[in-house]
Amino acid sequence: MAKVGRPSKYDRVDLDELYKLCLLGLTTEQLAEYYSVAPSTIKKWQVEHKEFSATIKKGKEEADEKVARSLFQKATGYTTKKTTVKKYPGGESVTEVEVEHPPDTTSIIFWLKNRQPAIWREKKNIEIEGEDESMAKVAELLRKRDSK
C-alpha cells in the first residue's frame, strides 16, 4: 500500500549540519525556519527520530557549556597570549606577550544573581501609603513574594 500525503522533509536533514546549527545556538523556531517546517514538526521529529533528538541535545549542550565557560572566564579574569611580528629590512622580530583581562563587573553581577539569587537579587520594597484597603493587600502580597 502506498503512503498518502507529501513526502517528509526529514529525509533532507543532514545530522552533521543539524549539529553545527545547534552549536551556533539556533532555537527550535529557527531550526524550523531553516528546514521550512513548523516548530511542531521539529518537535515531532525529535520524538520520532532518536538520532535527530540526540544530535540537537548534543549540539545545544556543547554550545551552552562553551558560553558558560566564557562567562566564567569573563567574571573571574583570564590571560591570553598575543604575538606581534615587526618586519624590518633584512628580517623580522616576533614577540609574544601575555595580556591580562581583568574580571568584568557586569559578568560578576550576572553570575551571582543567577547562581545565588537569595543573596544577590535586587530586592524591591514597595511602600504604599493611604487608606485604600485593596492596595494594602496588594503590598502585603508583594512583600510575601519578595521575602521567599
DSSP letters for 32-48: HHHTTS-HHHHHHHHHH
Q: In Å, how far are 42, 76, 105, 145 from 110, measured between CA atoms?
A: 32, 12, 9, 22
- Domains in the chain: boundaries: 9-115
Could you identify the residue written with the cell 628580517?
A: 91
pLDDT at 123: 73
Specify the long-range contacts of residues 30-34, CB closer than 8 Å, at least 24 apart: 31/56
Q: Is the full-model pTM beyond 0.95?
A: no
Residue 44, all three cell numbers: 515531532
Instruction: Specify the amino acid at residue 37.
Output: V
> Which tens digit of pLDDT belongs to each residue from 53-90?
999 999 999 999 999 999 999 999 999 999 999 999 98
